Amino acid sequence: MENCIFCKIIKKEIPSSIVYEDDAVVGFKDINPVAPVHILIVPKTHLANVNEINEENADIIAKIHLAAKKIAKEMNIHEKGYRLINNCGPDAGQTVFHLHYHLIGGKNLGSKIL
C-alpha cells in the first residue's frame, strides 16, 4: 500500500535491518527497541491490523507465529523466553497501521502485561 512505511520496508524501498524473510512474512529490527531483542514481524500483504483478519487470510497469523519461533531460536532466546505482542487500534497504542507483532526478549520482562 502506498505511503505505508512497513510496505516500503518489505519492498526494500527504505533501509531496515531485516533478520527474517519467507514467502509470506518479513521480520526486521524495531527502530526504537525496548529490549535487547525487538523484532517486528509483518505479513507481506498489507492488512491494517487484527480487525482485517478473516476466514480467508487467517493463516497469516500461524505463519507469523512460526516466524517468531524461528527468529527466537536464531537469536537464542527461545528457551529463556520472549513476548509476542500485537497492538490493535488507538487504545492499544497502534502507531503503524500495517499488521505487526513485536517479538521482544533478551532480558527478563517481568510478569505483568502492563
Active site members: 100
* Stretch touching ligand 5GP by CB under 6 A, among 28-36, 55-63, 69-77, 104-112: 28-36
Is residue 78 packed enough to be buried (19+ CB in 10 Å), middle (13-18) or exposed (0-12)? middle
User: Which of 32, 3, 20 is CA-nearest to residue 93?
Assistant: 32
> Which residues, numbered 45-84, are part of the site for ligand 5GP (CB under 6 A)?
none
Q: Is 4 in the site for Zn ion (CB under 5 A)?
A: yes
Phi/psi class of residue 110: alpha, beta or left (left: φ > 0; alpha: ψ in -120 to 50)? left
With CB under 6 A as the contact rule, the residue among 93, 108, 112, 114 that binds ligand 5GP is: 93
- 98 interacts with, out of ligand 5GP, Zn ion, none, CB within 5 to 8 A per kind: Zn ion
Of 59, 58, 66, residue with least CA distance to 41: 66
The helix (run of H) or strand (run of E) holding residue 21 is: strand 18-21
Report if residue 46 touches Zn ion, rule: CB under 5 A.
yes
Q: Which of 28, 43, 71, 105 binds ligand 5GP (CB under 6 A)?
A: 28
Binding footprint of ligand 5GP on the chain (CB under 6 A): 5, 16, 28-32, 40, 87, 93-96
